[in-house]
Homo-oligomer: A and B are copies of this chain.
Amino acid sequence: MTDPLNAVTEKEKGHDLPDSPRSVGWTRPERALLADEDTPLPLDCGENLYPVTVEFETYGKLSAAKDNAVFILHALSGDAHAAGWDAEWEKHKRPWRKDRPGWWDEMIGPGKAFDASRYFVVCANLLGSCYGTTGPWETNPRTGKPYGLDFPVVTVEDWVRLHVRLQDYLGIEKFLAVAGGSLGGQQALAWAINYPDRIRSAVIMAASARIGAQGLAFNAVGREAILSDPCFHEGQYYQHEPPRCGLELARMLGHITYLSQRSMEGKFGRRFQNGTEPGYRLNKEFCVESYLEHQGRSFVQRFDANSYLYLTRAMDYYDAAGTGSGLEAACSAIKARLLLMSFSSDWLYPPEDTREVAKAMLANKKPVSYIEIPSDYGHDAFLLEADQTSPLVASFLGRCD
């Protein structure tokens, strides 16, 4: 969900450079074909999709017993490049990776929460995204043109189903842990419920069993901005101008929901961009306006509008309680230990919603730890509060070992 680029802007932290002992160093994306004509991927919508390629990265070494693998799950705007420095950013035309490490570099590396000297860390790009895994940008072999809106609507459960194939491909029977924040946290919960025998634990941050009506509403407005952009051309814009304005608007709006009221107040307040006297302009006056515009503009350089539609829709549809017997019944299937973390100022996935999952686990007498981390960073906190979350994650993983 949150943009690693923003996160860095926010915290303005020094990075661990590739030669730092705490960095996983230079990384190279790998790709695996995980569904072909003989083994199509069944999707919740009823379609059977093939071919499906997944881009992933790994850090650290898989143990001989193959019992030290941790699977990192990315959020809306993330990718498989979770840590270290991309040695192939030029080859894959990803200039935004040049000066920054992976999106969760503060959490992944030797001596960090997801200790790459101890664990084999894997991260894979999501189906429908735009960073190497099959998505609407890819050529549909049936038509010879990009999928666009012919791409099937995918769900969080579809992602997990695909990633279990990646797990098999890597020869890992059980992940020591799956871990993610926001939409990544929803995936972690789906792993725990749908594949109880394939994981030993799950770290779920800034996420809950489902997004509420307000979250659905924000996503709907963001998608509408893209769909109504005249450059959208029913999703077949790859030969033309992409729907920049629509995606920019969607990102600006999304970004507001990732920050807390208090952090926006502290960071921008009502300050003017230039001077202290009003310029009596309809735009480009307040600092917060130019900040949002910058966020929007940089996002369209690196993200695909169709992917934005598909990934937000998956977020909408996810409901751990299913349409059936409720969250408590759903959690009865879980065998993994759960670590749930919410952030006090997160209003997209508010703490009370995360607590609901903890309660459902307790009602089932399942092992769960829940902590609400005090933070002013809002939803973005799962990227920005590494100092607070790292020791908790490290200690939890140590106990799951």
Chain A positions within 8 Å of B, measured between CB atoms, are 44-46, 149, 152-153, 210, 212-214, 216-218, 220-221, 223-225, 227-228, 230, 245, 248-249, 252-253, 256, 259, 261, 264-265, 267-270, 276-278, 280-283, 285-286, 288-289, 292-293, 309-310, 313, 316-317, 319, 323, 347, 350
Contact = CB atoms under 8 A, between A and B. Distances in A.
30 contacts: A44-B278, A46-B280, A152-B280, A153-B281, A212-B265, A213-B264, A213-B268, A214-B259, A214-B261, A214-B264, A216-B270, A216-B286, A216-B288, A217-B252, A217-B288, A217-B292, A218-B256, A220-B252, A220-B286, A220-B288, A220-B292, A221-B256, A225-B225, A225-B249, A228-B245, A249-B249, A261-B347, A276-B323, A280-B317, A282-B313
A146 to B, nearest CB: 16
B265 A220 contact: no
A219 to B, nearest CB: 9
Given A217-B288, A228-B245, 18 more contacts: A153-B280, A212-B261, A212-B264, A213-B265, A213-B286, A214-B261, A216-B286, A224-B293, A225-B225, A225-B249, A227-B282, A253-B253, A261-B350, A277-B323, A278-B317, A280-B317, A282-B309, A285-B316
Contact of A45 (B220, B280, B310): B280
A283 B323 contact: no
A269 B225 CA distance: 22
Contacts of A152: 280
A220 B286 CA distance: 9
A217 B256 contact: yes
Contact of A283 (B45, B223, B256, B288): B223
A289 B216 contact: yes
A228 B243 CA distance: 11
> What's the number of copies of this chain in the assembled complex?
2
Contacts of A223: 282-283
Nearest to A47: B280
A interface, by DSSP: helix, strand, loop or mixed?
helix
Contact of A213 (B288, B316, B317): B288
A116 to B, nearest CB: 37
A217 B264 contact: yes
A200 B268 CA distance: 36
A346 to B, nearest CB: 12
Contacts of A216: 268, 270, 286, 288-289
Contacts of A224: 248-249, 252, 283, 293
A316 B281 CA distance: 11
A274 to B, nearest CB: 14
A347 B261 CA distance: 9
A191 to B, nearest CB: 20
Contacts of A225: 225, 249
Contacts of A153: 280-282
B310 A282 contact: yes
A120 to B, nearest CB: 35
A125 to B, nearest CB: 20
B221 A292 contact: yes
Nearest to A291: B217
Contacts of A245: 228
A258 to B, nearest CB: 11
Contacts of A269: 212-213
B280 A213 contact: no
Contacts of A281: 153
Contacts of A265: 212-214
A319 B286 CA distance: 13
Contact of A149 (B213, B249, B282, B317): B282
A276 B210 CA distance: 16
